[in-house]
Amino acid sequence: MPNTNARAEQTPAAPDTQHHPAVEEYLETIFHLEEAGVPAMRARLVERLKVSAPAVSEQIKRLEREGYVRLSSSRTIGFTPQGRSYASAIVRRHRLAERLLVDILGMPWHQVHEEAGRLEHAISPVLEARLVDVLDDPVTCPHGNPIPGSKRRYAPGPLRPLADVGVGEHAEVVLMEEDLQSHHDTLMTLQQAGIVPGVTVTVEANGPAGVRLTAGGMDVELSATAALGIRVRA
């Protein structure tokens, strides 16, 4: 399950030496896997990053050498304190960029994840501080995921996948996991139906093929994969 109750005590920081965006992509992906409660294995990185297994192995070796990750006896990839701080800083910049695009620039909700991925590598500490001020230190990104280092408390309580909600039950949408945010068509469907964080939905059908639900009088059908990527409070 996602780690949704933790709140950073201080603003995470990236190292003084700037790294290639590929390094940051790996750290960010490991962070997202941990956040979703998924063991960070090489095979998961191959799936998420769409790269070859040898390329992943080489990059993990580099991250180990630089002191950002370590491998457990079960071959799970875990952060060192330095690596976790760096990864948290990347995720923080990404989610602040998403807030900028949605709240200030009015960009459609389903398009911002990819654009923020480009911006996150160019946000300096000075610009980050300005974003926090302009955006009033937001606690979550537009998709409901917590922003590391926010001074505001984030404690949504126990969450579960929409896929686990029974027929006839009501649930409040809290967040869309990072992996789901790369599925533009699904996010567009959710946005058009008004299914965003804070909205209550009712599950009308739930089976191996997916979930059918209603929200605000609209019927929406989601695949099983999409339903697993939406976390709710029921």
Averaged pLDDT, 39-61: 94
Q: Based on the fold, state whether residues 115 and 63 are members of the same structural domain.
A: yes
Within this chain, do residues 143 and 213 fall inside the same structural domain, yes or no?
no
* pLDDT value for 1: 47
In whole angstroms, what is the distance from residue 139 CA to residue 222 CA?
27
Tell me: do 71 and 11 sit in the same domain. Answer: yes
Cα–Cα distance between 104 and 116 in angstroms, integer? 13
Task: Specify the pLDDT at position 44.
Answer: 94
pTM of the model: 0.88
Indicate the helix (H) or strand (E) that contains 220: strand 218-223
Residues 158-175 have a mean pLDDT of: 95
- The whole-number pLDDT of residue 15 equals 61
pLDDT mean across residues, the chain: 90
Select from 124, 154, 184 the last residue of a domain.
154
Domain stop point among 154, 172, 195? 154
Given a cut of 80, is residue 90 above it in pLDDT? yes
pLDDT for the residue numbered 126: 95
